[in-house]
Structure 1
């Protein structure tokens, strides 16, 4: 490890699991490769044996141009779709739904309507976007759970292109920790569709996750526009403070919600009130914390702690970048957006949720300010990927989502190709490279769980099975 990265080393602990070595990775790839080719031997596809020159799929952003064609359904063309946008009485407005975590449903819809990748011809579309503000509609009483479920079923039944692909080329957005569970029958109707969600792990209230690594996409949370866009004064609502003027080492701004990790942080703040700010914030009622006050609290520490809540992701992680506070992820199973191109180890810190205590503060105190400044500077360079702006912008959440969707389209084309030809052989090999690429991402995300080859076997077996099921299922 280089000297510049020494501070990242966590203090030794007898429960700490060994990190994944290069040997482990090679062994894992051999395991995956063997599994893949063994299962493919049983494939009914007949492939050409001609020798062809194979180019790797364009998996890194910037290596090719966006060539997607996305059809966006209009509310008027499908009976019931307007209910998913505005409720049974049509009273839920777009403006009301732009606020809070569920604002991504509105923003993604709005920017797709304006996108150059949009097509108005269904027959030339690669993907179909189903607009819905259902999280907001539910929160505002526009539809109850039963109505949401029945309306989704009604809407899907009117989509012939959905039936043709088994739903694989249709996109749905679910902007909260509940993910696709907002649609109770998701597993029956949209289990092959592409789901955009900030949540890649199951919530504490669910037995299973609606997220599938092979087909779904993790999206950034919806950070307040006042912090991501400069106003008439050329500044955001709250400006970052110099490190020397910050009062606290770290902060946690959120409710306990009865969650063990959050309760531990609250107790830790009582032990070390001069180091860890953890105020009893009010998010409703007459003493509700105002938007500006919240960000003023957030900017007053060097580190912003982001523990798990009802689900593994937290909006606080994204917000911290805009007050230039180093995020500390205390959520073991969290997945983050665009992990194939963003090295989160360079812009954040991850701490085991089982080790919340004084040693966390000791570790953060050991990091010198010059290193903190470097982390902040790197975060400043990539935070534009959390900003919901047009996909024509060189760096935006929509741009990242479009690249991820283009990668998924390649997978759909490979899966749905039925012709026996030289081109199929090329696609077959590209599928092999795509699988290994996805597995490498999976291994990187789960490195803390690695315990030799056996550990890797546990990590990859379920996703490989998911992929095989996804490939071979009807539709």
Structure 2
């Protein structure tokens, strides 16, 4: 009855198949609109069985509900008494759509049921994802089947990932609230990677055949919004989320399969790394695989002196830049001949972490390790664009009008400004607008920072990394490089253009930006975006960590089916 009423009102009376009218109506009654689109999507998925049509309806839900923090959405809906929706219900439907876009059964041909998954991949694409690339030490024999777990018996790395389900674990549900809300910000890869593994051909719903167990959460987003968990913000370790993680693992049948959570995967999207959201991780999952942005220390955590990142087991990932930002940076870019600024930086001064030097001893530009202050002290140099406390758009203007973009250490090592530099140019060139549009060249001033995916891309060809304490010499070097080695400048820009798509997190088909991306010039910026992106890079690197014998019993003549059920022997 609700669906019939929603259809009658939305389509027949209000003509809401028109997107412009939908946007107008959302200003009048946002939650009413979200409620009706939710019931459409729910019906289309669970009653009609049309995944594509349900995804099309859910995009509207994603776009409008994403404007509200999940707690605010529940409050505005009267906790189900005013409008019959909840943040948990929207999140659950999102996950169901992503899972339905790919298989994940117990093996065999039914593992993949659709031509394309939610990220535009089909089985032929899955083989291209691997192509001639192999994990280190793997033989280079011809592929008879696609790599990955798209089909039963696929050649290695046929690793499979079991994704913990928040619908069945209350503590996990609290950690994954507001997917549509949390995907927007620079920490949105926590949502993006959850979406990816739900829709991945490598997913399995049979934990007994899993090589890895993915534990989803959106804590970087939820902790940064300090009202989500009482007493939690980015200035101290978060007790409530730590307790929730402990509850999730305590209730898991799979957590103790191997020592220290070695087959479990977590994503940490902010400078807090693992310590802020899961303060006791070293006691619970010291051997787990962390996909994370932060290889160093977070300044506000003075008592934490050991980084969460461990090179041999963890995977560094880029921050998430929205499709709008990637396209917008390209549109604003100026041709090289019009870039009169040598170097650009806008930001606040930051001392080093207390374990390196007491902050009170490194407050200004007289301290070389306060590299931001050293840069800001050069304000007034007509060749540099450096400033503090200015509108955000000013940073975009600097990115798109400078030859070099400085990326100094801040509260921690990683910075979204590094990934923005790769998209601050080139789009106008694709659109045949006059002028040689090129990106600014990133200059890392962060001795301990490792950019992601160095195993896949040749970073020294596209990036300058300079000692933090030698900024004065850097400016002279860049001036000389511009005047005397223009060919090297071209090589750096071209190499950056080649690798930048590895740093993109394209949206899935449950997001409104999926439509924006496919009708925009992003397809020209990254023509093979569904094969060359951050998800594919992460999946390739994860393949090197798969061990088929991990956590299993096996012997000649063993019956595998008997091993799939605990207590069967």
TM-score normalised by the chain length of structure 2: 0.57
Quick one: which of 258, 267, 271 aligns to 1:173? 267
Q: 1:377 maps to which residue?
A: 494
| 8 Å CA contact retained: 1:392, 1:399 | no
Q: Does 1:222 align with 2:320?
A: yes
Q: Does 1:294 align with 2:385?
A: no
Whole-angstrom CA distance in 2 between matches of 1:76 and 1:328: 44
| 8 Å CA contact retained: 2:176, 2:218 | yes
Structure 1 position 420, deviation (Å): 10
Structure 2 runs not aligned, ≥5 long = 1-134, 149-157, 233-237, 353-369, 425-438, 509-527, 557-569
Shift in CA distance, 77/263, structure 1 to aligned 2, threshold 3 Å = same
Structure 1 position 94, deviation (Å): 2.1
Quick one: which of 141, 162, 170 aligns to 1:79? 170
Whole-angstrom CA distance in 2 between matches of 1:124 and 1:179: 30
Q: Does 1:348 align with 2:463?
A: yes
Whole-angstrom CA distance in 2 between matches of 1:222 and 1:104: 6
SS in 2 for 1:181: coil
Structure 1 position 151, deviation (Å): 0.7
Q: 1:65 maps to which residue?
A: 147
Q: Does 1:275 align with 2:383?
A: yes
Q: 1:185 maps to which residue?
A: 280
Structure 1 position 305, deviation (Å): 0.3
SS in 2 for 1:311: coil
Q: 1:262 maps to which residue?
A: 372
Note the alpha carbon deviations across 1:97-144, whole angstroms, 9 max, x for none: 123321111111112222111112212211111110011111112113
Q: 1:200 maps to which residue?
A: 295
Whole-angstrom CA distance in 1 between matches of 2:529 and 2:475: 42
Structure 1 position 281, deviation (Å): 3.2
Shift in CA distance, 289/239, structure 1 to aligned 2, threshold 3 Å = closer
Q: 2:114 maps to which residue?
A: none
Identify the range of structure 1 (216-225 vs 62-71) with the bigger mean alpha-carbon deviation: 62-71
Q: 1:209 maps to which residue?
A: 307
Whose radius of gyration is greater, 1 or 2?
Answer: 2
Q: 1:325 maps to which residue?
A: 440
Structure 1 position 237, deviation (Å): 6.1
Structure 1 position 162, deviation (Å): 1.2
For residues 426-445 of structure 1, the aligned pairs below 5 Å read: none
Q: 1:363 maps to which residue?
A: 477
SS in 1 for 2:331: coil
Whole-angstrom CA distance in 1 between matches of 2:450 and 2:464: 14
Quick one: which of 136, 142, 145 aligns to 2:228? 142
Whole-angstrom CA distance in 2 between matches of 1:367 and 1:171: 43
SS in 2 for 1:250: strand
Q: 2:256 maps to which residue?
A: 163
| 8 Å CA contact retained: 2:329, 2:396 | no
Whole-angstrom CA distance in 1 between matches of 2:440 and 2:292: 24
Q: What RMSD, in angstroms, separates the aligned Cα atoms of the two structures?
A: 2.6
Whole-angstrom CA distance in 1 between matches of 2:349 and 2:325: 25
Note the alpha carbon deviations across 1:277-300, whole angstroms, 9 max, x for none: 112234xxxxx424xx53222111
Q: 2:95 maps to which residue?
A: none
Quick one: which of 337, 340, 359 aligns to 1:244? 337
Shift in CA distance, 203/126, structure 1 to aligned 2, threshold 3 Å = same
Q: Does 1:395 align with 2:395?
A: no
Shift in CA distance, 417/164, structure 1 to aligned 2, threshold 3 Å = closer
Whole-angstrom CA distance in 1 between matches of 2:461 and 2:334: 21
Whole-angstrom CA distance in 1 between matches of 2:550 and 2:181: 40
Structure 1 position 418, deviation (Å): 8.6
Quick one: which of 336, 341, 358 aligns to 2:451? 336
Structure 1 runs not aligned, ≥5 long = 1-54, 87-92, 283-287, 422-475
Structure 1 position 252, deviation (Å): 0.8
Number of matched residues? Answer: 343
| 8 Å CA contact retained: 1:238, 1:296 | no
